[in-house]
């Protein structure tokens, strides 16, 4: 299955006190996942950030899978995070850039890296944690080959603005890397509700995933770099 | 006028109780136990699943959903088909909040299998009614 999934959590929009309550986090994390926090050692992040880190991973996997399984219901505890490793040099900083974009595999960033099992599928995650946000992208490819990922801060929250901003953000990126001739693209939705890239009303073979929360938007998409795929077709 | 002690800090007028509580002879001397201070709503006990009681739950559910949707006008017109995410534009990060708030409001426990069914207003009502019936 060729797909992608990403999620973003604006930490300003979460209730820290509530997140730390067993009644809350037990609806997201299984007991073994709760134990990962102590076992793996995350001194740089408080428990509530750990909860939302794992939430963002699970939501990303759900988005990945939903593209192929339209009736899929998001059930956080059925997406099992087996392993989550902090970066070698964890350093949580403010998201000072207006936007950040990269090809996941080639970035050399210090990501939080996870391994996830959902049914018979295995996924891998890469997450960025800042003071203000947690952003995750997942792939079935351990090397995240051809996975693109971007995060951007926006001036106004609200659903309509977030929706416009994330679509403009991903289209800007696509225009910058697709060969000439790929004009007038737009982001639509397939009948199953997943976002798709449309060129003259035809769906392009580029799986995309969009996320927004608070004053942040994020995308991921799967695309072999055009320099290696010059004859890209609809 | 009959009054009853509702909880140590609140007295209610039984004549002003929702009709469904009177009709079903529900003991109003109960209060939703909440671990969260932002939820202190009187319980609406119901033994049946009639249209009337479902409508009353919708009315209460609107109050639960209000903090999590920006489109209050849309919230006013919800029905059982209304989807929490695609129609009300509720961020998925708030879904657990809604489940917790519903638990507190109705003094029920919503297990994980039931929680995953709560995607639209009708399924939320189904789960709430099911869990409330388990208590009676």
**What is the rounded distance in angstroms from the CA atom of residue A64 to the CA atom of residue A66?**
6
pTM greater than 0.90 (yes/no): no
- Domains in chain B: ranges and CATH: 3-135 (1.10.1200.10)
pLDDT digits (tens, 9 = 90+) for A56-65: 999 999 999 9
Rounded mean pLDDT, A1-10: 94
Across the interface, do A213 and B91 touch by the CB < 8 Å criterion?
yes
Does A77 contact B112 at a Cβ distance shorter than 8 Å? yes
The dihedrals phi and psi of A6, each to the nearest 5 degrees, come to -145, 165
Domain boundaries, chain A: 5-225
Query: End-to-end alpha-carbon separation of chain A, Å?
Result: 18
Best residue of B92, B105, B113, B127 to probe chain A, by most A CBs closer than 10 Å: B92
Nearest-Å Rg of the Cα atoms of chain B is 15
Q: Count other Cβ atoms within 10 Å, centred on residue A81.
A: 23
A23 in contact with chain B, both atoms CB, cutoff 8 A: yes
Of chain A, the percentage scoring pLDDT greater than 90 comes to: 71
Tokens encoding A116: 């996830």
Which region among A2-6, A22-26, A66-70, A162-166 has the lowest average model confidence (pLDDT)? A66-70
- Which site among A9, A14, A15, A160 would you substitute to test the B interface, given the most B Cβ atoms closer than 10 Å to its Cβ? A15
Closest alpha carbon within chain B to A9 = B93
When pLDDT is cut at 50, 70 and 90, the band that residue B49 belongs to is low
Q: Which residue in A24, A158, A193 is closest to B96 by CB distance? A: A24
Region of poorest pLDDT, from A147-151, B32-36, B66-70: B32-36
**pLDDT tops 50 at residue A74:** yes
A196 beta partners: A188
Q: Which member of A28, A158, A213 has the closest CB to residue B96?
A: A28
Query: String of b and e for A153-171 (b: at least 16 CB within 10 Å)?
Result: bbeebeeeebeebbbebbb
Query: CB of B89 within 8 Å of any CB in chain A?
Result: yes
Residue-wise pLDDT for A202-211, tens only, equals: 999 999 999 9
> Distance (Å, rounded) from C-alpha B47 to C-alpha A224?
58
Phi-psi region of B101 (alpha: psi -120 to 50; beta: other; left: phi over 0): alpha
- Over the stretch A144-186, which tens digit does the pLDDT of each residue have? 989 999 999 999 988 999 999 999 999 999 999 998 888 899 9
DSSP string, A7-31: EEEEGGGS-HHHHTSHHHHTTT--H
Kindly report the number of other CB atoms within 10 A of residue A207's CB atom.
Answer: 21
Question: What does the DSSP 8-state code read for residue A63?
Answer: H
Best interface-test mutation with A: which of B91, B99, B104 has the largest number of A CBs within 10 A?
B91
Strand, helix or coil at A105? helix
Inter-chain CB proximity A159 and B89 less than 8 Å: yes
Q: Given this model, what pLDDT does residue A226 score?
A: 65
Report chain B residues whose CB lies below 8 A from the CB of A14: 93
CB of B33 within 8 Å of a chain A CB? The answer is: no
Q: Which residues of A touch B35 (CB under 8 A)?
A: 21, 23
| Helix or strand run (H / E) with residue A80 | strand A80-85
Tokens of B40: 């202190």
- Residue in A21, A27, A55 nearest the CB of B115: A27
Is residue B100 within 8 A of residue A18, CB to CB? The reply is yes
**Among all residues of chain A, which has the CA nearest to that of B111?**
A27
Look-up: residue for tokens 């890296």? A113
Question: CA-CA distance, A110 to A142, in Å (whole number)?
Answer: 16
Question: Between chain A and chain B, how many beta carbons pairs sit less than 8 Å apart?
Answer: 40
For chain A, give the percent of residues with pLDDT over 70: 94
Q: Where are the alpha helices (DSSP H) in A26-80?
A: 31-40, 47-66
- Read off the tokens for A184: 């007038």
Q: What is the ipTM of this complex?
A: 0.83
**How far apart are the C-alpha atoms of A191 and B66, rounded to whole Å?**
29
Phi, psi for A53 (deg, rounded to 5): -60, -50
Q: What is the mean pLDDT of chain A?
A: 90
Q: Which residues contact B69 (CB under 8 A, 6 or more apart)?
A: B75, B88, B89, B90
Chain A: residue nearest B92 by CA? A59
DSSP output for A163-205: HHHHHHHHHHHHHHHSPTT--SEEEEE-TTS-EEEEETTEEPS
Return all residues near A47 (Cβ < 8 A) that are at least 6 apart.
Answer: A19, A20, A25, A37
Structure tokens, A3? 């797909």
Contact B117 A24 (CB under 8 A): no
Per-residue tokens: A103? 């090809």
Which pLDDT band holds residue B7 (cuts at 50, 70, 90)?
A: very low
A77 has a chain B CB within 8 A of its CB: yes
What is the C-alpha separation between A213 and A166, in angstroms, rounded? 11
- Specify which of A48-57, A102-111, A179-188, B52-61 reaches the highest per-range mean pLDDT: A48-57
Helix H, strand E, coil C: the string for chain B is: CCEEEEECCEEEEHHHCCHHHHHCCCCCCCCCCCCCCCCCCCCCCCCCCCHHHHHHHHHHHHHHHHHHCCCHHHHHCCCCCCECCCCCCCCHHHHHHHHHHHHHHHCCCCCHHHHCCCCEHHHHHHHHHHHHHHHC
At residue B41, does pLDDT exceed 70?
no
């Amino acid at each position: 299955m060729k797909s992608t999934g990403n999620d973003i959590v604006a930490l300003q929009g979460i209730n820290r006190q509530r997140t730390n309550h067993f009644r809350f986090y037990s609806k997201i994390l299984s007991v073994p996942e709760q134990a990962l926090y102590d076992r793996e050692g995350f001194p740089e992040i408080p428990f509530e950030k750990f909860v939302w880190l794992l939430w963002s991973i699970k939501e990303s996997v759900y988005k990945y899978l939903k593209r192929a399984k339209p009736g899929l219901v998001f059930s956080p505890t059925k997406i099992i995070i087996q392993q989550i490793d902090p970066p070698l040099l964890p350093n949580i900083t403010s998201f000072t850039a207006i936007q950040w974009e990269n090809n996941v595999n080639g970035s050399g960033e210090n990501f939080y890296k996870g391994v996830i099992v959902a049914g018979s599928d295995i996924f891998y995650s890469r997450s960025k944690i800042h003071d203000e946000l947690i952003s995750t992208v997942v792939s079935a490819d351990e090397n995240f080959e051809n996975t693109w990922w971007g995060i951007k801060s926006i001036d106004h929250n609200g659903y309509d603005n977030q929706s416009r901003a994330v679509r403009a953000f991903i289209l800007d990126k696509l225009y910058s890397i697709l060969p000439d001739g790929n004009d007038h693209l737009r982001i639509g939705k397939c009948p199953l509700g997943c976002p798709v890239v449309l060129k003259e009303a035809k769906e392009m073979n580029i799986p995309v995933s969009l996320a927004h929360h608070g004053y942040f938007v994020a995308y991921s998409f799967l695309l072999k770099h055009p320099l290696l795929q010059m004859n890209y077709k609809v | 006028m009959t009054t009853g002690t509702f909880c140590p800090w609140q007295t209610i007028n039984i004549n002003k109780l929702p009709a469904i509580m009177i009709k079903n002879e529900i003991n109003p001397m109960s209060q939703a136990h909440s671990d969260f201070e932002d939820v202190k709503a009187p319980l609406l006990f119901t033994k049946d699943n009639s249209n009337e009681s479902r409508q009353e739950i919708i009315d209460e559910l609107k109050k639960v959903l209000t903090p999590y949707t920006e489109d209050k006008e849309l919230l006013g017109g919800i029905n059982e088909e209304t989807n929490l995410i695609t129609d009300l534009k509720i961020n998925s990060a708030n879904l657990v909040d809604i489940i917790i708030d519903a638990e507190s409001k109705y003094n029920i426990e919503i297990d994980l299998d039931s929680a995953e069914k709560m995607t639209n207003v009708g399924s939320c009502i189904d789960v709430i009614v099911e869990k409330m019936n388990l208590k009676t």
